[in-house]
Amino acid sequence: MAKDKQKSSYSAQDIQVLEGLEPVRKRPGMYIGTTGPDGLHHLITEIFDNSRDEAMGGFANDIEIVLMPGNLVRVTDNGRGIPVDIHKQTKVSALETIMTTLHAGGKFGGDGYVVSGGLHGVGASVVNALSVMCRVVVHRDGGRYVQEYSRGKKKAAVKKTGSSKLNGTITTFEADSEIFPEIAYDFNQVVTHMRQQAYLVKGLRISVIDARAVTAKFDADEVMYFRELGLDVPSQSFYFEGGLLSLVKFTNQTQKPIHKNIFYVDKPAEGVESVEVSLQYVDDISPRILAFANNIHTPEGGTHVTGFKTTLTRTLNTYAKNNGYTKNGEDSFTGDDALEGLTAVISVKIREIQFEGQTKAKLGTVEAQSAVTTVFGEGFSAFLEENPDDAKMIVNKIILAMKARKAAKAAKDSVLRKGALEGMTLPGKLADCQSKDASESEIFIVEGDSAGGTAKQGRDRRTQAILPLRGKILNIERARLDRMLASEQIRALVIALGTAIGDTFDLSKLRYHKIIIATDADVDGAHIRTLLLTLFYRHFRPLIDGGYICIAQPPLYKIKKGKEIFYAYSDDEKDKIVGKNAEIEETMQEISNESETEEAEEKGADENETVKAKKTNKISIQRYKGLGEMNAEELWETTMDPSKRILKRVDITDAQDADKIFDILMGSDVPSRKAFIQSNATKANIDI
């Protein structure tokens, strides 16, 4: 063999066995997804989920999350308290077993929990493994017990520190900086998640407290609940008796409801502990469906959502035909018709739950579909019969959606047919790239013909396409497909992308894997960018989810310092380039140069050399108002050159919040938009 000398040995001694929680520290991404901000916040969720499962079982009704000084997080509940007696299998305390052993917990069977979000017994132990310090205080059976850990290993045995009349668990942890590059908790992100959880467990109080700014010394372990210390710190508390009905009200607070009464049902079914559904139609065209399984958000849906959608369409069709709203056969509602303008929340609680995939984003339990079909079908049919006025408004809304769908299909077919017949498969203003490989191709959507002309001159013709838009495109937030396709601007964009739109959307036909929005750095540019993002969010969501949408970051300033040219993308960057005392330095330098000039004249030196020296030290700053102010070379160098440019990829960290913001900014609720602008006015960068 040619490489015998390089051949390495491979024997039993090369097999590494990771003991205890070492696998978690070795591959944290396998357990929490990422070591970025989402993974950091997931630590809080894992500990909270244990407390929430106590509440779901009826053993707790009060949970508190505290962000504390020194990157500490404290989660308290008034549940039964983690057992502290000796575990028969591990021969140590059950508390120690749960905190230091993977796949150990009370959720695999038995009488510990009827339903829970945790399946694998890894939550608390994973948090412990990824924390430089973790301390658990248990109030149980008349005693107070404590155990502390570091990076997954116990520092001492479980110790009883006194008697207690309370019951519950207090978990305090500090994330390990060796695992997480940045430890910075977002209070609002925690609050948003906990608000949602409070809706899902009726009668549960959840408090979130931000005590990171507290400088006074205090002992948090002295009290069961941090709020008992009486410190004046930011906090939010949630408690909802209405459950999902309250969540629907909250979701629709910026919408105009079509009907007055909100539908709500909560019943058990065969194989499922609880099926809870609430819905209301609003004067909008976009559906909003939130689905949960054992209180875990399932953004990809699953069997419970399939059962809901099928039953919704069938029930509405049956009611419409039985009450003379539609004729048999020719006017049946489709699933899309029934979903238009719908706000719905579906929550199922299942003893033996199954998810598809590691992330629990999609429910796979087969029994959930038939359970939702039965409970929701019976409940919604009764609701329509018992509330004829509400039913009339709902059915008329669906009939309007059906007519709009047929009109939109005709308009879409007409557009596509017309484009094919006239040979205009691509819009005339599109300067396409030469490459047909979508993976290396990108399209710049630019504002106006002026910027479009400059971009066409400065681009790399092989991989970069340019599509100029004339003015502001149609606000599609409340526009149906037929009206959208009547807009020349939107039609050109749809044809250029190649994916089609609506029910014929096909991501595999996308012609560019980078879609770059390049607008001016002013109010009009921001408005156009928002209109485009609204279009992509509502009708091309897979493009955002796939990371195809980007926003160009052209420079704000061109700075000349003598012969050197710099570009600044922010005021801070400009100040760093110019220097804090730039004007003083310039003035002093010019005075110095003038003295040198006088001295040089006296000595008969060359005057041209001193004038040249003066000019060298002057700083000129050009403020770019729009892309059209740049020449082709500047635009390429600063905004289009892949090796130098700055692009911001558009993603959606919280789809529900994004949906709400688009509703407020682009919808018809003027008071909500006014309140939003007034609340956020101080955050705006105003160019006068």
Say if residue 594 is in the same domain as residue 688: no
Give the rounded percent of residues in the chain with a pLDDT score beyond 70: 80
353-362: per-residue pLDDT in tens? 888 865 678 8
Q: What is the mean pLDDT of residues 234-259?
A: 91
Is 223 a residue whose pLDDT tops 90?
Answer: no
Spatial contact of 332 and 326, defined as CB atoms under 8 Å apart: yes
Identity of residue 636: W
Catalytic site residue from 283, 524, 573, 586? 524
CB contact at 8 A, 128 and 134: yes
In a domain? residue 644: no
Task: Quote the tokens at residue 37.
Answer: 């901000």
pLDDT at position 491 is: 85
Whether 176 and 71 share a structural domain? yes
Q: Is residue 325 included in any domain, yes or no?
A: yes
Residues 129 and 208 in one domain: yes
Residue 675 within any structural domain of the chain? yes
What's the rounded Cα separation, in Å, for the pair 604 and 291? Answer: 87
CATH code of the domain covering residue 324: 3.30.230.10
Q: Provide the residue range defining the domain that includes 677.
A: 655-688
Whole-number Å distance between alpha carbons of 339 and 292: 18
Confidence at 601, pLDDT banded by 50, 70, 90: very low
Question: What's the structural domain count of the chain?
Answer: 4
Alpha carbon of 554 to those of 255, 528, 637: distances in Å?
36, 16, 10
Question: Can you give the pLDDT at residue 598?
Answer: 44
Together in a domain, 130 and 267 = no
* β 131-140/62-68 pair status: unpaired
Of the listed ranges 8-12, 177-181, 560-564, 640-644, the least confidently predicted one is: 8-12
Residue 116 banded pLDDT, cuts 50, 70, 90? low
Yes or no: say if 578 and 572 are a contact pair by the CB < 8 Å rule: no
Can you tell me whether residue 231 is helix, strand or coil? coil
On whether the CB atoms of residues 221 and 139 are closer than 8 A, the answer is: no
Yes or no: say if 23 and 266 are a contact pair by the CB < 8 Å rule. Answer: no
Do 680 and 596 lie in a common domain? no
- Report CA dihedral (123, 124, 128, 129) to the nearest 10 degrees: -30
Helices (H), 101-148: 123-129
Quick one: what percent of the chain has pLDDT higher than 90?
44
DSSP secondary structure string for all residues of 441-462: -EEEEEEHHHHHHHHHHHS-TT
Active site residue 447: yes
State pLDDT tens for residues 291-342: 999 988 898 899 999 999 999 999 999 999 999 988 765 678 999 999 999 9
- The CA distance from 104 to 169, in Å, is 17
What CA–CA distance (Å, rounded) separates 118 from 54?
A: 11
CATH number at residue 42: 3.30.565.10
Same domain? 316 vs 268: yes
603 falls within a domain: yes
Residue 624 has pLDDT above 90, yes or no: no
Q: Are residues 163 and 43 in the same domain?
A: yes
Residue 522 is a catalytic residue: yes
Considering the chain, what is the average pLDDT of its residues?
Answer: 82
Structure tokens at 594: 């003038």
Bigger pLDDT: 89 or 583?
Answer: 89
pLDDT the model gives residue 185 = 96
Q: Residue 501 above 90 pLDDT? A: no
- SS3 state at 113: coil
Least confident range from 144-158, 345-359, 604-618: namely: 604-618
30 and 130 belong to one structural domain? yes
- Marked catalytic residue, from 447, 477, 634, 637: 447
Instruction: Identify the domain boundary among 378, 406, 434.
Output: 406
The distance of Cα 389 from the centroid of its chain, to the nearest Å, equals 37
Q: Which residue has the higher pLDDT, 328 or 369?
A: 369
Which residue intervals of 422-522 are DSSP H helices?
Answer: 448-458, 481-485, 488-497
pLDDT in tens, 183-196: 999 999 999 999 98
Long-range contacts of 636-643 (CB under 8 A, 24+ apart): 636/458, 636/459, 637/567, 638/554, 638/555, 638/567, 639/518, 639/552, 639/553, 639/554, 639/555, 640/444, 640/455, 640/458, 640/459, 640/460, 640/464, 640/552
Q: Name the residue among 524, 580, 559 with its Cα closest to residue 638.
A: 559
Q: Say what the pLDDT of residue 175 is.
A: 95
- So what's the pLDDT on residue 307? 96
Find the catalytic residue in 174, 221, 300, 522.
522
Domain membership of residue 153 (yes or no) is yes
**What mean pLDDT is predicted for residues 609-620?**
56
- Mean pLDDT to the nearest integer, 637-663: 78
- Residues 575 and 663 grouped into a single domain: no
Tell whether 120 and 269 lie within a shared domain: no
| Model confidence band, residue 3 (pLDDT cutoffs 50, 70, 90) | very low
Look-up: residue for tokens 């490989």?
437
Any domain includes 629: no
Statement to judge: residues 322 and 388 lie in one domain: yes
Give the pLDDT score at 357. 66
The pLDDT of 573-601, averaged and rounded, is 51
CA distance 550 to 536: 11
Residue 672 lies in a domain: yes
Mean pLDDT of 434-461: 91
Is there a single domain that holds both residue 51 and residue 130? yes
Between 682 and 535, the higher pLDDT residue: 535
Q: Is the pLDDT of residue 678 over 90?
A: no
Q: Which of 62, 390, 432, 520 is catalytic?
A: 520
Domain boundary pick from 197, 216, 238: 238
- The answer to whether the CB of 514 falls within 8 A of the CB of 548 is yes
460 is catalytic: no
In a domain, residue 454? The reply is no
Is residue 669 part of the annotated active site? The answer reads no
158-170, pLDDT tens digit by residue? 999 999 999 999 9
Q: Look at residues 406, 430, 451 and tell me which one is the last residue of a structural domain.
A: 406
pLDDT confidence band for 562 (50 / 70 / 90): confident
